[in-house]
Amino acid sequence: MTERLVIIGNGMAPGRMLEHLLEIAPNRYQISIFNAEPRVNYDRIMLSPVLSGEKSYEEIVIHGDGWYVANGITLYKGHKVVEIDREAKTVTSEHGAVEPYDKLVIATGSVPFIIPVPGKDLPGVLSYRDLDDVNAMLIAAQSRQKAIVIGGGLLGLEAAAGLKERGMDVTVLHVMPTLMERQLDPAAGYLLQKAIEARGIKVVTRANTKRIVGETRVEGVELDDGTFIPATLVVMAVGIRPNAGLAQQAGLAVNRGIVTDDQMRTSDPDILSLGECAEVGGRVYGLVAPLYQMAKVAAATLAGSDGEQFVHVETPTKLKVTGIDLYSVGDFADGDDREEIVLRDASAGVYKRVILKEDRVIGTVLFGETADGPWFADLQKKQTDISEMRDTLIFGQSFQGGASADPLAAVAALADDAEICGCNGVCKGKIVSTITSKGLTSLDDVRAHTKASASCGTCTGLVEKLMTLTLGDSYNPAAVQPICGCTDLGHDDVRRLIKAKRLKTIPAVMQELEWKTSCGCAKCRPALNYYLVCDWPDEYADDYQSRFINERVHANIQKDGTYSVVPRMWGGMTSSQELRAIADVVDKFQIPAVKVTGGQRIDMLGIRKEDLPAVWADLGKAGFVSGQAYAKGLRTVKTCVGSDWCRFGTQDSTGLGIRIEKFMWGSWTPAKLKLAVSGCPRNCAEATCKDIGVICVDSGFEIHFAGAAGLDIKGTDVLGLVKTEDEALEVIVALTQMYREQARYLERIYKWAKRIGHDEIRRQVLDDVERRKAYFDRFVFSQKFAQVDPWSERVSGKDKHEFRPMANLSFQPAAE
């Protein structure tokens, strides 16, 4: 007979429990879930990337609506449970829904601790625990004003980093002398503060909040030393408490959390508890790894098995702030019964400290270089005697026992039970056996079958090394399908070999790379032509016969065999003279349709192919060049009117858009490239769904990238904030050149960015100034050799928006 299982809470722990339960006892229960939030289950540890703009809510959903339907689960969204009747064995929600149970699981999570100071209830004071909090912060961040985060722990620093990415001026207040004092020693806390401050976030330690100031909403924070810090948003991130009130009301044993045994049973044998609300072995937990262990144990208990028991294991701490590498596990307090080994590299920003007791590792703190974290944690877990490697221990696993410095050798030396993914508790043996038994060949496959690297992603490198060890040469994370049937090579190999062998013509590429056909095909020839144009701009003559018909005739072919012509209008600006010229062309050639495009230009449709040269000749006399609406290249730079006309405009968005377009037009890219510049955060030019976008703010220009609004719908990610137009132009051009050099033909920016990593792009284009200038210079060099339209000439800008070169540029595009 099917039993009735009711779950209160729909967070990550009960979600993982259901996965295990459906696997080991798929038909045992009729399941109902009450979720206080009005949504499905999502990955809460990825809220920080959602706040920063690196991910969307849709990307962190764990179980969509379809999953509940497919598994016959009733999900009550937005139903907070207000009563558990243990005698009647029912639960009741605030909306009056009542469900009977045979087994009940309480997974109500935690509640944020709000420091009891005057002003804590003012509008503008938020906590940071769920998606509603993140959405509220995102709304507040649109103001681009000042924010204060109270609390310098994991959540506080992640919130601060996210708000900074959203353009706010952020200050972190922390009551202790150093940040994350529970997870880091003072030395690492000092380095962390430097890294946070280097991002433009102010940090005030020993800051005791006296009151939050404001009449009708937040105006700032006053400290007990009299210091006043202005702000329009205050985020409380000072800790959490188990949400055990409902269980206590039902008469269950409650201490700090809901008391359970090691099989997750509460004082009522028909009621289990897990997650942040549960207390097992006298401990409560806030990190995801022990919660997932609870989930596995609870599933076994519900399935009638007594084999699984919860065992406390020290869980590593990792900070989810892009570009900050931090790893901490175990006990790192000072004491007479322990010793420490420390390595410092000030120039590299590296700090390593391993704490020993009786030749056993009991704690590890790593900052700046964390690859050996899992190895140190494994030594601690197994209480390995390290006396024989005492002198080299701090240098990591690769230096032990004469082992090779090859990182694969270090991974190979890990025991099968060594934990690789701390979030999901996945060991090396599990990953290797799953790869072998299921024939997995991709990282996504491994994530789907083992959950390794599917949460915070910090173990992705280790997982990929395991895949390389297991699959050998057959695993290539960058491997793709062959370009076409003419070759066995993929895009990446072709690009690499063109450079390595210095191949500078299509026949040379086909001969040296052993093409299977004599002249290639319509799929590979355009790709080869692009790669040669990009790699050898001063030596390779663009082969127009290897381009698509649209690019050859500078018009878009339509379904009836006619063509459409789109003249370029810089930044969407035009004049009466230009409009008359277009009207004359329409009348002269009896063009049947004229349409304003979404890119702020005019499209003339229905032109016969034989008329195209004459159409372009007439348009060229009026100063028009092709808008390249067909191009695998720069198409449009959409703008709003900006500060010239709009009362909300913060910068001259029209001028910047025209400057970018005149600088970059005519440049070929792997796929179409669309840009936009919005004069304020109201974003009228829709910059946040473009390949590259600019949002003008009071403090400068916020650069966005990797958006899409076609077959795929994707908002942009924030690359960073720059202060001047010159910087904005340099960053945008460098980003474009990096994309040109690294992307596969027909690969849009958002797909390329996902493949190589947004953090890597930020590192190369925003953080590494020298590399950025090198990309910029290579773009400028390539533009010297850009082909002029055969039917038109480039037009000079005559108005105040004409091209304004950067001070250190000797080259100006032909438009000047």
Structure tokens at 653: 């968005």
Residue 300 has pLDDT above 80, yes or no: yes
Shared domain check, 263 and 214? no
Positions of E strands within 671-800: 673-678, 692-697, 700-705, 708-709, 713-714, 717-722
Taking residues 376-405, report their average pLDDT.
80
What does the chain come to in residues? 816
**How many Cα atoms are found within 13 Å in the side-chain-facing hemisphere of 204?**
18
Least confident of 298-312, 489-503, 691-705: 489-503
Shared domain check, 152 and 229? yes
Residue 71 has pLDDT above 50, yes or no: yes
Kindly state whether residue 401 falls inside one of the protein's structural domains: no
Residue with tokens 């947004």: 758
Q: Which of 214, 238, 262 is the last residue of a domain?
A: 238
Taking residues 686-704, report their average pLDDT.
94
Shared domain check, 98 and 119? no
Taking residues 47-57, report their average pLDDT.
81
Q: Categorize the per-residue pLDDT at 816 as very low, low, confident or very high, splitting at 50, 70 and 90.
A: very low
Shared domain check, 704 and 715? yes
Asked if residue 680 belongs to a known ligand binding site, the reply is yes
Q: Which of 258, 282, 302 is the last residue of a domain?
A: 302
Shared domain check, 166 and 41? no
Q: How far from chain centre, in Å, is Cα 639? A: 26
pLDDT in the model for residue 477: 62
Identify the CA nearest to 86 among candidates 255, 257, 267, 259.
267
Residue 402 has pLDDT above 70, yes or no: no
Could you tell me the pTM of the whole model? 0.58
Shared domain check, 555 and 541? no
Shared domain check, 266 and 230? no
Q: Categorize the per-residue pLDDT at 456 as very low, low, confident or very high, splitting at 50, 70 and 90.
A: low
Q: Which of 196, 216, 238 is the last residue of a domain?
A: 238
Kindly state whether residue 209 falls inside one of the protein's structural domains: yes
394 or 278: whose pLDDT is higher? 278
Shared domain check, 646 and 763? yes
pLDDT in the model for residue 277: 97
**How many Cα atoms are found within 13 Å in the side-chain-facing hemisphere of 113?**
10
- Residues 252, 268 contacting (CB under 8 angstroms): yes
Q: Say whether 394 sits in a helix, a strand or coil.
A: helix
Kindly state whether residue 810 falls inside one of the protein's structural domains: no
CATH code of the domain in which 75 resides: 3.50.50.60
Least confident of 333-337, 653-657, 661-665, 800-804: 800-804
Taking residues 347-367, report their average pLDDT.
89
How far, in Å, CA of 597 to CA of 191, rounded? Answer: 52
pLDDT in the model for residue 480: 47
How far, in Å, CA of 619 to CA of 606, rounded? Answer: 16
What domain count does the chain have? 5
Kindly state whether residue 807 falls inside one of the protein's structural domains: no
Taking residues 546-563, report their average pLDDT.
85
Taking residues 489-498, report their average pLDDT.
83
Residue 404 has pLDDT above 60, yes or no: no
Sign of CA dihedral 441, 468, 492, 674: positive
pLDDT in the model for residue 707: 93
Least confident of 265-269, 444-448, 637-641: 444-448
Taking residues 170-181, report their average pLDDT.
94
How far, in Å, CA of 641 to CA of 510, rounded? Answer: 49
Q: Where are the alpha helices (DSSP H) in 645-748?
A: 653-664, 725-742
Kindly state whether residue 753 falls inside one of the protein's structural domains: yes
416 or 780: whose pLDDT is higher? 780
Q: Categorize the per-residue pLDDT at 754 as very low, low, confident or very high, splitting at 50, 70 and 90.
A: confident
Shared domain check, 226 and 172? yes
- Residues 267, 253 contacting (CB under 8 angstroms): yes
* Residue 699: count of CB within 10 angstroms of its CB: 13
pLDDT in the model for residue 322: 63
pLDDT mean across residues, the chain: 87
CATH code of the domain in which 555 resides: 3.90.480.10
- Residues 677, 685 contacting (CB under 8 angstroms): yes
Identify the CA nearest to 495 among candidates 537, 544, 532.
532
Shared domain check, 709 and 648? yes
- Domain, as residue range, for 221: 114-238
Kindly state whether residue 197 falls inside one of the protein's structural domains: yes
Structure tokens at 369: 């270089």
Give φ, ψ of 211 to 5 degrees.
-165, 160
Least confident of 222-236, 438-452, 496-510: 438-452
Dump the DSSP string for 577-596: HHHHHHHHHHHHTT--EEEE
Give the end-to-end CA distance of the chain in Å, rounded to a whole number.
82
Shared domain check, 696 and 672? yes
Asked if residue 684 belongs to a known ligand binding site, the reply is yes
Q: Say whether 17 sits in a helix, a strand or coil.
A: helix
How far, in Å, CA of 146 to CA of 125, rounded? Answer: 13
pLDDT in the model for residue 2: 87
Kindly state whether residue 769 falls inside one of the protein's structural domains: yes
Facing residues of 272 across strands?
105, 265
Compute CA distances 795 → 516, 578, 628, 655, 802, whole Å: 44, 12, 15, 17, 11
Taking residues 777-806, report their average pLDDT.
53
Residue 278 has pLDDT above 90, yes or no: yes
Residue 709 has pLDDT above 50, yes or no: yes
Structure tokens at 644: 């010239």
Shared domain check, 528 and 669? no
Q: What is the largest CA-CA distance in the chain?
A: 95
Least confident of 13-22, 683-692, 710-719: 710-719
List % helix, strand, coil for the chain (3-state, nearest 5).
35, 20, 45
- Residues 657, 571 contacting (CB under 8 angstroms): yes
Identify the CA nearest to 667 among candidates 639, 630, 635.
635
pLDDT in the model for residue 407: 60
Kindly state whether residue 184 falls inside one of the protein's structural domains: yes
How far, in Å, CA of 727 to CA of 593, rounded? Answer: 41
pLDDT in the model for residue 457: 66
Q: Categorize the per-residue pLDDT at 327 as very low, low, confident or very high, splitting at 50, 70 and 90.
A: confident
For 238-268, write each residue's pLDDT tens digit.
989 999 999 999 999 999 999 999 999 999 9
